[in-house]
Structure 1
Amino acid sequence: MKKAFIVKGGKPNRNDPFYFTLGECEWVKSCYENPDVVKIPLTDIKPEHISFTYPDSMVSFQFYDEPKLAKYRKAYNGQVYLLNELKDLLDKYGLPTEEKWKSQENMTYDRYIEAQVWDDFIINTYQDKT
């Protein structure tokens, strides 16, 4: 994922990203006993320090690579998107919704768009605010 991000123009300043969802995701919160939410406006993050996958990166790349999961595969799987590609991605596919993943079998695992933040500074800035 990091290599794909760099090829597209990303400039990570860490080896692995911090993982977030684009917007709140009630389903993710339900996975934890005491969930909390950190909201970082996209405008606060340098475009070269953030990437996105649709859906979760592990799911997205598994569907892209694994033949037995082909029924779940979509054109956006196995891709890393930059901030300047986000609007087109959302215009074309929309946000994942509970209605979609509960009613359409091929959307079962499309629960959220994952945001990968490749920057310690912005994380430390928001961590200091909590």
Structure 2
Amino acid sequence: MLLGVVEIYLYHYFDKEIGPFVNLSDLPVNEAQSILNTIKVKKPNSQSAKRHDKYVEYRHNCENIIRAEFAKKGGVMNRISPHYMVIEHSPWLSTWYESSTFIKIPIEEFDIKTISFTYGDSMPTFSPTINDGKEYRKKLYTYDEILKIIEKYGLPQNWNDDGRYGPERYIEAHIWSDETISKYRKRIDSI
């Protein structure tokens, strides 16, 4: 079980050719959509190429929800949109890119007040079309709160990596600061 682990890691999966922590949400909608369209042509086997035409709009809407929910919990947000990571390794996410790799960062390197979590990807978590009554639907968590949910349900990738039991395949971490992220971005750039 995760809570018995000495150190918790956050993972960020990305395409080696593009680099880490490149976020479509940091761009104007039309520019983000243009990049997504280019990915569909140039990297047709990537998960990003399978996203629907309204993805950017839906992602922005979801980020508005998680930002508002985190503000209610007193979260510290130094960015308009978060960087995305997951708690522990996700076999499924590791297949998303044609040239897939990852960065793993001990959670202790972050200011915990700048991280929110959803049990599963935030988009299905807050989707109006998913109403299965699970207690973690439509909920955003702080670090202490997500540890209690993990204690209760475990890591989704351990029981649902293939998505057979619902949309939750990992725990998404929303990093609302560039402080730790910038250190890792520089390390990759220098290699």
TM-score normalized with structure 1 length: 0.86
**Which stretches of structure 1, 4 residues or more, deviate above 6 A after TM superposition?**
none
Q: Offset of 1:108 from its aligned partner?
A: 2.9
Alpha carbons of structure 1 residues 97 and 43: separation in structure 2 relative to 1, 3 Å: same
- The alignment status of 1:43 with 2:108, answered yes or no, reads yes
Distance 1:53 1:45 in 2: 17
Mapping 1:1-130, distance limit 5 Å: 1-62=66-127, 65-66=128-129, 69-71=130-132, 73-97=133-157, 99-100=159-160, 102=162, 105=164, 107-130=165-188
The residue matched to 1:2 in structure 2 has which SS?
Answer: helix
Q: Offset of 1:84 from its aligned partner?
A: 1.6
Q: Which amino acid is the alignment partner of residue 170 of structure 2? A: Y
Q: Which amino acid is the alignment partner of residue 89 of structure 1? A: I
Which structure has the larger Rg over C-alpha atoms? 2
Q: Offset of 1:101 from its aligned partner?
A: 5.2
Distance 1:54 1:79 in 2: 8
Q: Offset of 1:100 from its aligned partner?
A: 3.4
For the 8 Å contact 2:90–2:161, the answer to whether it is kept is: no
More strand by share: 2
For the 8 Å contact 1:53–1:80, the answer to whether it is kept is: yes
Distance 2:92 2:186 in 1: 27
Q: Which amino acid is the alignment partner of residue 115 of structure 2? A: I
Q: Which amino acid is the alignment partner of residue 75 of structure 1? A: E
Q: Which runs of 5+ in 2 are unaligned?
A: 1-65
Distance 1:98 1:84 in 2: 21
Q: Offset of 1:19 from its aligned partner?
A: 0.7
For the 8 Å contact 1:101–1:109, the answer to whether it is kept is: no
Distance 1:97 1:123 in 2: 24
Higher relative contact order (CA 8 A, sep 6+): 1
For residues 34-68 of structure 1, the C-alpha deviation after alignment (integer angstroms, 9 at most, x for no partner) is: 11111111111101110100100001111xx22xx
Length, aligned pairs only: 123
The residue matched to 2:103 in structure 1 has which SS?
Answer: coil
Q: Which runs of 5+ in 1 are unaligned?
A: none
